[in-house]
Amino acid sequence: MRSVRDFTAGVGFLFQGFGWVAKNTRWWLFGLIPALIAFSVYAVALIFLGTNASALAEFLTPFADSWSWAELFRTLVGIALFIGGLALAVLTFAAITLVIGEPFYEKLSAAADVLEKEEEQPWWRTLPRSIRDSLVTLFYVLLFTIPLFFLGFVPVVGQTVVPVLGAAVSGFFLTVELTTLALERRGMSRKQRFALLRANKASALGFGVAGFLLFLVPFVAVIAMPAAVAGAALLVRTRLAPVS
């Protein structure tokens, strides 16, 4: 029961983020700039993947040439490739947008989560660390999502259990990315941040899964990105690392 309450509370912090940017529209507009840049890049990449999914599926499945149902199989592979690319785009969108908009989102996070004392460093010093941490997070994501991708071809399990597990994995690591700014301002290293989120897994999942599902809707990710950053800052401030 407590886990359910914590999960629900995590979802609530995302909506609190929307409430915060609604009251601070200047910060919302400020945070849209890097999100629009990242969205443009991803839109081109996904359009390319969608229009070439069939050819890519055929290239990856030469063993199916003699199968009577090769066309159906390759259609399913092409769909799976696009869905996998979309899921990866949803998760990495936050990481790439945060890298592009490091100075923007640092200021937004600080405005939503005011600290008397914080570990403050210039953005040009934190940027390389941010890129490195995002690559480490991406490695862990792939460690989980690649097996899930192949399990997606298993009848029944692939259409029921796998999407739920995929959303949970993607949601957790989305929370990892979005809470980085607020936790770094508290002087926490990557290992400390991971440990803190694992200790508050239900809240992290609630926030991240809600964000992941929201980011699946075209263009909503752009509009929601500033709110997600603000919501993550409020999640850290109120639940993960409360200000005494």
Q: Give the residue extent of every domain in the chain.
A: 2-240
* Cβ atoms < 10 Å from Cβ of 172: 22
The gap from C-alpha 225 to its chain's centroid, in whole angstroms, comes to: 10
Q: Given the structure tokens 């979005």, which residue do they identify?
A: 178
pLDDT for res 231 = 96
pLDDT of residue 119: 58
What residue spans of 152-189 are helical by DSSP H?
157-184
DSSP letter (8 states) at residue 63? G
What confidence tens digit (pLDDT) does each residue in 21-49 have?
Answer: 999 999 998 889 999 999 999 889 999 98
Confidence bin at 121 (pLDDT 50/70/90): low
Is the confidence at residue 6, as pLDDT, over 70?
A: yes
Q: Residue 156: is it exposed, middle or buried by C-beta count within 10 angstroms (0-12/13-18/19+)?
A: exposed
Check residues 237 and 70 and name the one with the higher pLDDT. Answer: 237
Residue 79 has pLDDT above 90, yes or no: no
Query: Helical H runs in the chain?
Result: 2-23, 25-60, 70-100, 102-112, 123-151, 157-184, 190-199, 201-215, 220-235
Angle at 134 between CA 127 and CA 208, to 5 degrees: 120
Q: What is the pTM of this model?
A: 0.81
